[in-house]
A and B are shown apart, each in its own frame.
Chain A
Amino acid sequence: MLTAIRRITRAGFVGFWRSAYVSLASIFVITITLFVIGSTMFIDQLLATSLQTIQKKVDINVYFEPNAPQEEIDALKKAVEALPEVAHVTYTSREDALIKYREKNKNNEIALQALSELDENPLGADIAIQAKETSQYEGIARFIEEQRELSTADTPIINKVTYNDNKESIDTLTSIINAVERVSFIIMVVLIIAAVLITFNTIRLAIYTAREEIAIMRLVGASNMFIRGPFMVQGVMYGLVGGIFAILIIYPILTWLGPRTEAFFEFNLLTYFISNFSYIFLTLVGIGVVLGLVSSVLAVARYLRV
Chain B
Amino acid sequence: MIYFDNVSKLYDDGRSAALQRVTFQVAPKEFVSIVGHSGAGKTTLLKMIIAEDKPTEGQVFFESIDIHSIPRTKLPHYRRKIGTVFQDFKLLPNKTAYENIAFAMEANGRSDEEIAENVPQALALVDLDDKAWNFPNELSGGEKQRVAIARAIVNQPDIIVADEPTGNLDPIATYEVVQILRKINDLGTTVIMTTHNKGVIDELGRRVITMNEGQIVRDDSTGKYVL
Which residues of A are interface residues toward B (Cβ below 8 A)? 3-4, 7, 14-15, 18-19, 212-213, 215-224, 226, 306
**Chain A interface helix/strand/loop/mixed:** helix
Which residues does chain B contribute within 8 Å of A15, judged by CB atoms? 94
24 A–B contacts, CB within 8 A, in A order: A3-B109, A3-B112, A213-B92, A213-B94, A215-B90, A216-B92, A217-B92, A217-B103, A218-B76, A218-B79, A220-B103, A220-B151, A221-B82, A221-B104, A221-B107, A221-B108, A221-B155, A222-B103, A223-B76, A223-B107, A224-B73, A226-B107, A306-B72, A306-B75
Identity of the chain A residue whose Cβ is nearest the Cβ of B79 in the assembled complex: A221
Cβ A220 vs Cβ B94 within 8 A: no
B73-109 contacts to A (CB < 8 Å): 73, 75-80, 82, 84, 90-94, 103-104, 106-109
**Contact A221 to B103, CB < 8 A, known contacts A19-B94, A216-B91, A306-B72:** no
Which residues of B are interface residues toward A (Cβ below 8 A)? 50, 52, 72-73, 75-80, 82, 84, 90-94, 103-104, 106-109, 111-112, 151, 155
Cβ B104 vs Cβ A220 within 8 A: yes
* Interchain CA distance A218-B50 in the complex, whole Å: 11
B76 in complex: contacting residue of A7, A18, A222, CB < 8 Å: A222
* Interchain CA distance A155-B7 in the complex, whole Å: 110
* Interchain CA distance A218-B75 in the complex, whole Å: 9
Q: For the complex formed, measure the closest distance between the CB of B149 and the CB atoms of chain A, giving whole angstroms.
A: 13
Identity of the chain A residue whose Cβ is nearest the Cβ of B54 in the assembled complex: A306
Identity of the chain B residue whose Cβ is nearest the Cβ of A225 in the assembled complex: B76
Which residues does chain A contribute within 8 Å of B80, judged by CB atoms? 221
**Contact A221 to B93, CB < 8 A, known contacts A4-B109, A306-B52:** no
The A-B contact count (CB < 8 A) is 55
Which residues does chain B contribute within 8 Å of A4, judged by CB atoms? 109
Which residues does chain A contribute within 8 Å of B77, judged by CB atoms? 221
Identity of the chain B residue whose Cβ is nearest the Cβ of A304 in the assembled complex: B72
Identity of the chain A residue whose Cβ is nearest the Cβ of B81 in the assembled complex: A221
* Interchain CA distance A18-B108 in the complex, whole Å: 24
* Interchain CA distance A84-B113 in the complex, whole Å: 76
Identity of the chain A residue whose Cβ is nearest the Cβ of B82 in the assembled complex: A221
Which residues does chain A contribute within 8 Å of B91, judged by CB atoms? 216
**Contact A7 to B106, CB < 8 A, known contacts A216-B90, A221-B76, A222-B76:** yes
* Interchain CA distance A260-B90 in the complex, whole Å: 59
Identity of the chain B residue whose Cβ is nearest the Cβ of A305 in the assembled complex: B72
B79 in complex: contacting residue of A3, A215, A220, CB < 8 Å: A220
Which residues does chain A contribute within 8 Å of B108, judged by CB atoms? 221
Q: For the complex formed, measure the closest distance between the CB of A176 and the CB atoms of chain B, giving whole angstroms.
A: 56
* Interchain CA distance A18-B93 in the complex, whole Å: 10
Q: What 7 pairs across the A-B complex have the smallest Cβ distances?
A: A222-B107, A221-B80, A221-B79, A223-B76, A18-B94, A216-B90, A220-B104
Identity of the chain B residue whose Cβ is nearest the Cβ of A19 in the assembled complex: B94
Cβ A219 vs Cβ B107 within 8 A: no
* Interchain CA distance A213-B111 in the complex, whole Å: 23
* Interchain CA distance A14-B94 in the complex, whole Å: 9
Which residues does chain A contribute within 8 Å of B76, judged by CB atoms? 218, 221-224
Identity of the chain A residue whose Cβ is nearest the Cβ of B50 in the assembled complex: A219
Q: For the complex formed, measure the closest distance between the CB of B75 and the CB atoms of chain A, giving whole angstroms.
A: 7
Cβ B92 vs Cβ A219 within 8 A: no
Which residues does chain A contribute within 8 Å of B84, judged by CB atoms? 219-220
Identity of the chain B residue whose Cβ is nearest the Cβ of A222 in the assembled complex: B107
Task: Given contact pairs A223-B76, A224-B76, enumerate 9 new A-B contacts (beta carbons under 8 Å).
Answer: A19-B94, A213-B93, A219-B84, A220-B107, A221-B76, A221-B78, A221-B104, A221-B108, A222-B103
* Interchain CA distance A219-B108 in the complex, whole Å: 12
Which residues does chain B contribute within 8 Å of A223, judged by CB atoms? 76, 107
Which residues does chain A contribute within 8 Å of B109, judged by CB atoms? 3-4
Identity of the chain A residue whose Cβ is nearest the Cβ of B109 in the assembled complex: A4
* Interchain CA distance A213-B90 in the complex, whole Å: 8
* Interchain CA distance A222-B80 in the complex, whole Å: 8
